[in-house]
Amino acid sequence: MESPKFSPDLVAPCGMNCGVCKAYLAYSRGVPNKRGSVTHCQGCLPRNKNCFIKRGCPKLSKNTIRFCYECENMPCSNLDRVDRRYRKRYGASLVGNLREIEESGVDSFLKKQTVKYRCPECGDVLSIHDGKCYVCGQTPEQRQTR
């Protein structure tokens, strides 16, 4: 089964691939939002989200750079804070993503993301945040008991 392709438009300036975010997956896979039970998001760039990293950065707010790696001060304290949280909680580094994009390009980065977050059950995408597949419902617990 062919995995869905990630789009470069869904890679945020901080190195986050919104394609593996649970709010994007809930939105794009049509998970119903009953009484605000799940967050729906179209991705940071498509919805022009003004996150604290962007707000705190003159280059990002004026769109003079596309990715944080283009900045000589990377990582700034804001990016460093998120990066630490992602490394600790989700086993992924946003700064690591950015270095990968800088070295091999966004397409190669996204190809690796497809492999890394592929659902073993249906071939869709596992969320970086909860390890769940929003198409077939596969959970990390189910994978452990195999």
Binding residues for Zn ion, per CB under 5 A? 119, 121-122, 124, 133, 135-136, 138
Closer CB to Zn ion, residue 97 or residue 138?
138
Least distance from Zn ion to the Cβ atom of residue 137, Å: 7
How far is Cα 71 from Cα 80, in angstroms, rounded to an integer?
A: 13
Q: Where are the alpha helices (DSSP H) in 29-120?
A: 52-55, 58-61, 77-90, 94-104, 106-116
Closer CB to Zn ion, residue 23 or residue 122?
122
Residue with tokens 């707000």: 55
Vertex 86 angle, CA 112 and 43, to 5°: 65
Least distance from Zn ion to the Cβ atom of residue 141, Å: 14
Closer CB to Zn ion, residue 25 or residue 95?
25
Least distance from Zn ion to the Cβ atom of residue 136, Å: 3
